[in-house]
Structures are given as C-alpha cells and as structure tokens.
Structure 1
C-alpha cells in the first residue's frame, strides 16, 4: 500500500500526522520564538536577582570549593533542570512561549514528554547558552519549520496557538445508514483514530481523489473492529466513517443531557428542606 499524500496546498495550513491526516496547527515564526526566548531570559534574570537578594540576606559564607559546587549546581538548574521541568509540566509552554503564543509540540502534533523536553534543554545548553543563541537562530531561519537543533534531535517544533480556531462541523449521518447506526454497537474509539477520522472527513474535499479513496479505505478498515454488526454490504467507506462519528456524537450528546438532568434533580433534592420544616418560598 502506498503512502497517502495530502494536497500540496494543505501543507501551508498544518502538519500531517502518522494517519495521513492534516492537523490544524502552524509552525511558529522565528520572530515569535525569539520573543518568547527574550521573555524567558528576563524572567530568569528577575529570578536570579531575587535569589541573590535572599541569599545575601542570609549572610552565609562558603569556601571556594563549596562555591564552585554551588555554581555548577546553579548552572545545571537554570539551563537544564528548570527548562525541562517547566516544559514538561506545562506541556510545552513556558512564560515566554505563553506571551508569544507558541507551544512546543511533537512532530505529530501531540504534547511533548519529559524525554523530549530534556533533550531540548540538554542540547540548548550548547546552542543557546554557549553560543548566545546564534546557532539556534541560524538553524531556525534555515529550517522550513523553524526548528532549532534541539527540536530536530527531540522530534519537536514550535507551533502557533493564537491562530483563529477552525470552524468544526459535526459529522452528518447518511440517511441510508441511520437505521443501522442506531442499533449498532460502537465501542470507545482510540483518541488517535477518532481524531484521524474527524480530520479526514473535514478535509476530504481538499485531498487528491486517489489519496482520498485510499485513506478512506484504510481508516474504515481500522474502524471496523470497533463496530458490530458491520455496515450493509457495499457501503462506501466515507459513508461508514461519517455514520460512526455521527452516531457517536448523538450518543455522547444524550449521555451529557442525561448527566445534566441528573445533576439538576440532585440539586433540587439538596436544596429541599428537611421533612416538617416549612418552606418560606412555598
């Protein structure tokens, strides 16, 4: 089976994940990432000044050997430990990236992990601190996605998060599959598969006809193990995908409505006065 190829015009709007589906995300510009780095440096400077004032107020004296150890620990903490911790806990958003509207994500568009944050910070010690950021800037300008060396080795890139949110339309139930879908048993779909199907249906009209048909068949084959009974013979793969997503949406809406109704009923019971106590509002 040959790999599917998105329409060339799509590559300007996002990135393609492993399922061959385009995600609504765009690489951040070098200027945005540079702004984020400057804000992070200012935050580190403020933190260093506050730390120095606190330590100065303690009036603690250390010898030269202990001072060298303390300096090494401080350098490792600032250049490796702190960036790794912040990016891991914030899923790729430091203070500077938050201001610049940038998030560090994996090449497939997912949130970064500790390993990727650690690789970025470790490589960043050389390309950011030892070279004053010159290597990172040159690499970001030359790379089509604006990656620095740490991003290339970690498999990450900077993504814009302040672009206008795309309008997402719900999947439409094909009329001839409505009866089948209502009685079908649809198991919980893996998040990656559900996202792939949803993105494919939203972008199907922009795909090359051959790639569109191939990807629809592939996704339908991945989806069939989660559906029982199977759709009627001769069902078009895209109709099958749309019917499953539409039915999942309908059932999730019913579950949510039932949850809201139950919470409202419980709230009424909680507000009800004990038996025998007159209600002033009655």
Structure 2
C-alpha cells in the first residue's frame, strides 16, 4: 500500500488514516524499554553468577566471562526487541505501555528480518551515541524530525514504521446553559423527557466538535425537535439548537442533584446513625461444630425479640382526656 498525504492507500484506493508516532512518544517508549533491558541484564547477571558457582573452578576463566557477557549483552540489546516485536504483534514493553506498534512501511505486520535489521542498526549506528553523543544522537534526532513519518535510521533501513494503536481523543465537558436561558430553564416541565432522549442529547453535546457540517446541524435540529416536543414552555428567544439542549440538560441535572440532596437530608433526619456511621459488614454466624455420626443436630436457639418502647402520650393530651372524663 503506497503512502499519501491522507495516510496509507489500500489496493482498493481507500485512504486509511494512520497516526504515526513522533519523537516524544517514541522517546518515552524507549525509556521504558531501557528500564526493562536493565532489569533483564540484572537477571542474566544473577543467573550467570549462579551458573559459575556451580561449575568447577578450573573451568571459569576470563574467556568464559567475556563470552557470557557478550552473549548477555547481545540478548538484551538485540534479542529483546526482536523477540518482543516478533511474538507480541510489533510491540515491546515500552511501546505497549505508550500505545505504539511497529509495522511494515505498507501497513502490514513487521517481519523477523525487519525487526532484526532495526535492532542491528540501532546497536551499530544509534547506540554508539553513548560514546559520541554529538554525532549519533543528533543525527538520529535530525532524521526523525525531518522525516514526514517520524522514522529513525533503523526504520529507514528496515522499511518499517511506528504507529499509534490508540485513538487520540480530547475530553471536553458538556456545554452549560447561557445566562439568558437560565430563568426559562427553571420553569420547564421535564416530566416527559425520558432518560434515553436526554442521554442522546448529552452524547451529542459531548461529541459535537467531532461532527462536520452539515451533519452537525442536522443532528442538532433533529434532537431539538424531539426535546421541544416533550417540554414546555417554548424558549423565549431565538438561539442555536445546541444552546437549547445545553440549557435543558443543565436544568435536568440541577433538579436531579437537588432531589438527591433532599433524600439525603430526609434520611439523615429519620435515621442519623445510617449517615453518621459507615456501613459495617454483615456478621455471619459461626459455623457449627461437627457432630459425631448418628447424633442429632442441636436445636437452633433464636435470640428473643427486642421489646418495643411504650408509646408515651403528651402530658397536655392526657390532661385533656382526664378533664373530659
């Protein structure tokens, strides 16, 4: 699939929107991968130390130490990204945490040869920046900033691409009512506005920025026509449909909060212990002890019912009855 300004273009000439990973997200994923590689190197060092203690003393020499060190370093720097990208759908631990994925330049899954090429180029060309940072690091960052798909040197050589696997979304609160419609919303009759219609209006207001015209205006007119048919009185001034919907939903939310506060006040007045004390777990009765075979189960003893408090009549009422008698 070739690449165009709209993204990847399939064989059916359909543009697929692909969000490529840039420098910031890739650096964050790299830092997480470096921490993972340090942990893996520490575990390998401990494993080799235990292995050396089990071997005879005459077999452990400088050549064996150098060979195991080289093998462990190659596994951490090359084997880790290759195995993770090959068997984890193109994602290492850092890329999985950030939401990135390595794919081929045509959008297909990354292959073993491509993962190995990326890792070898990174070790041979980009990681020497630990010694010559002004050469390797600056060159790598420059390539990523100048490439329109944010690829590094390993991606250019291997023919791969790093893309986002999560959809970018911006949280936006539901618009509030304008001051000119607050008094009108206070007098609304919302008894016929059901939950489904109110939820549809709220979802539209929360995602109104994601709709394009003319779909945005058409949805707003349709929702307001349904809402206006079940509420009274009509709005006193001319305004966009989204403003009316925001005023109605804001008033509906205010009344719901007010009802909850009233119910809580009534509960606190009638049963103050339920509001003051936190709920306690139900006390389960202890399991009965096991009885020998053939013995009858002991009878269940129920606690006596709590006596109810006697009703005390007011003194004034009692005196009135005595006087009447």
User: Normalized against structure 2, the TM-score is what?
Assistant: 0.44
Residue 29 of structure 1 pairs with residue 22 of structure 2: yes
List gaps (5 residues or longer) in structure 1. 166-282
Task: Report the Cα distance in structure 1 between the residues aligned to 2:16 and 2:122, rounded to whole angstroms.
Answer: 27
Task: Report the Cα distance in structure 1 between the residues aligned to 2:102 and 2:3, rounded to whole angstroms.
Answer: 25
Bigger relative contact order (CA 8 A; separation at least 6): 1
RMSD: 2.4
List gaps (5 residues or longer) in structure 2. 131-135, 170-325
Quote how far apart the aligned CAs of 1:153 are.
1.2
Residue 44 of structure 1 pairs with residue 37 of structure 2: yes
Give the number of aligned pairs.
157
Task: Report the Cα distance in structure 1 between the residues aligned to 2:32 and 2:97, rounded to whole angstroms.
Answer: 8
- Deviation sequence 1:42-90 (CA, Å, 0-9, x none): 0111122222234334525621112222222222222222211111111
Larger radius of gyration: 2
Task: Report the Cα distance in structure 2 between the residues aligned to 1:78 and 1:33, rounded to whole angstroms.
Answer: 19
Residues 18, 108 of structure 1: 8 Å contact kept: no
Quote how far apart the aligned CAs of 1:17 are.
4.0
Residues 28, 98 of structure 2: 8 Å contact kept: yes
Q: Name which of 152, 155, 166 aligns with 1:151.
A: 155
Query: Alignment partner of 2:163: what SS?
Result: strand
- Identify the structure with the greater helix proportion: 1
- Deviation sequence 1:11-47 (CA, Å, 0-9, x none): 2xx3234554322311112110110010000011112
- Deviation sequence 1:171-195 (CA, Å, 0-9, x none): xxxxxxxxxxxxxxxxxxxxxxxxx
Equivalent runs, 1:156-167 vs 2, <5 Å: 156-164=160-168
Task: Report the Cα distance in structure 1 between the residues aligned to 2:100 and 2:26, rounded to whole angstroms.
Answer: 7
Equivalent runs, 1:232-243 vs 2, <5 Å: none
Residue 103 of structure 1 pairs with residue 101 of structure 2: yes
Task: Report the Cα distance in structure 2 between the residues aligned to 1:66 and 1:99, rounded to whole angstroms.
Answer: 37
